[in-house]
Homo-oligomer: A and B are copies of this chain.
């Protein structure tokens, strides 16, 4: 950390900073500049020290130098992590596609979708059984019944089941049916839930919160990794900005940025990221070209009858088209990287 003193800070204030740095178990190093003084605080401790120094009188600001996450960092592990669940393989050169409806609505619906997903060449089936809905008056999911239908769809197709978990107390139940636990954007900083999914030992798809920075996102992953569960997929699903022509803004630079900083694979969700079916295929292609390790896409056999989020779901025909385009691009990307 670099402690920047205010212009005209008194020598006694600088001494106070030095003393505090040493109390924190760090080494200090003073640099007197033309206009002001900075003090470097050296050592391994990352936590709490910044706040402790920031409030000392005469201090202007404290600039951290090291990334706050560790286990997620490429500093700690260089080779990419590959997450697998049945035939779904994400990371390390594998591009896994997960598709399905926003919510499981009926046996007929989920079985039909699962066939479409498999035929188009994807290996994961998404579908919400417990649905976090902005309004308490919206459809909240079929709950355990929905999980049973997902499991039935898996038995019929071999697809890996990816479904959202909203509360720690559901983990036992959900783990009986699902292959991958999804933590939704609203719960990215629900720390007890992160620890609980970590402890389940199952692969986790962690969605970025709509106002989370990259550091916050990686620290949320760190909560899971700390339990010893390293099967974490990061999912970029769009952030909240002033843009109003899309539901969220999908910032694909996250993909190469995360690949620099972490060994964890990065999945992109162009459905929530745009909120408009007509933009999904273009953004799926762009995600592949940016180097994404996977896609998660909403489809529905009959979007205009969907009980939730139908406006962003692809029809089966649109999805097949998207898959065909993405496969071509993925092959092209393989040549580029080779």
Interface residue? A176 (CB, 8 A): no
Q: Are B251 and A303 in contact (CB under 8 A)?
A: no
Partner of A252, one of B132, B214, B283: B283
Interface residue? A81 (CB, 8 A): no
Separation in Å of the A220 CB from the closest CB of chain B? 8
Partner of A191, one of B70, B132, B239: B132
Q: Are B252 and A286 in contact (CB under 8 A)?
A: yes
Question: Given contacts A241-B239, A290-B286, is CB(A222)–CB(B135) below 8 Å?
Answer: yes
Q: How large is the interface on A (under 10, 10 to 19, 20 to 34, 35 or more residues)?
A: 35 or more
- Who on chain B is nearest to A73 by CB? B7
Q: Mark A245-258, 1 if CB is under 8 A from B, else 0.
A: 11001111101110
Q: Mark A194-209, 1 if CB is under 8 A from B, else 0.
A: 0000000000000001
Q: Which of A38-46, A106-114, A154-162 contacts B (4 or more CB under 8 A)?
A: A38-46
Cβ contacts under 8 Å, A118 to chain B: none
Interface residue? A219 (CB, 8 A): yes
CA A205 – CA B191 in complex, angstroms? 20
Separation in Å of the A107 CB from the closest CB of chain B? 20
Of the A-B pairs whose beta carbons lie under 8 Å apart in the complex, a sample of 11, sorted by A's number, is A132-B191, A136-B219, A136-B223, A209-B211, A239-B242, A244-B244, A246-B253, A253-B279, A282-B290, A329-B332, A329-B336
Q: Which of A27-35, A119-127, A144-152 contacts B (4 or more CB under 8 A)?
A: A27-35
Which of A's residues lie within 8 Å of B, judged by CB?
2, 4, 7, 20, 29, 31-36, 38, 40, 42-44, 46-48, 51-57, 63, 65-66, 68-70, 75, 132-139, 166-169, 186-187, 189-192, 209-211, 213-216, 219, 222-223, 226, 239-246, 249-253, 255-257, 260, 273-274, 276-279, 282-283, 285-291, 303-311, 313, 325, 328-329, 332-333, 335-336
- Who on chain B is nearest to A44 by CB? B34
Q: Are B245 and A214 in contact (CB under 8 A)?
A: yes
Separation in Å of the A321 CB from the closest CB of chain B? 9
Q: Are B335 and A283 in contact (CB under 8 A)?
A: no
CA A29 – CA B255 in complex, angstroms? 35
Partner of A66, one of B35, B215, B245, B285: B35
Q: Are A48 and B2 in contact (CB under 8 A)?
A: no
Q: Are B289 and A285 in contact (CB under 8 A)?
A: yes
Q: A52-B305, A256-B282, A289-B289 are in contact. List 16 more A-B contacts (CB 8 A).
A: A2-B38, A33-B43, A34-B44, A48-B138, A51-B310, A54-B311, A55-B303, A166-B192, A168-B169, A211-B239, A214-B243, A239-B243, A253-B274, A285-B333, A285-B336, A329-B336
CA A48 – CA B57 in complex, angstroms? 31
Q: Are A219 and B40 in contact (CB under 8 A)?
A: no
Cβ contacts under 8 Å, A306 to chain B: 51-52, 55
- Who on chain B is nearest to A6 by CB? B75
Q: Which of A54, A134, A289 has the most CB of B within 10 A?
A: A289
Q: Are B246 and A47 in contact (CB under 8 A)?
A: no
Separation in Å of the A32 CB from the closest CB of chain B? 8
CA A216 – CA B134 in complex, angstroms? 6
Cβ contacts under 8 Å, A139 to chain B: 47-48
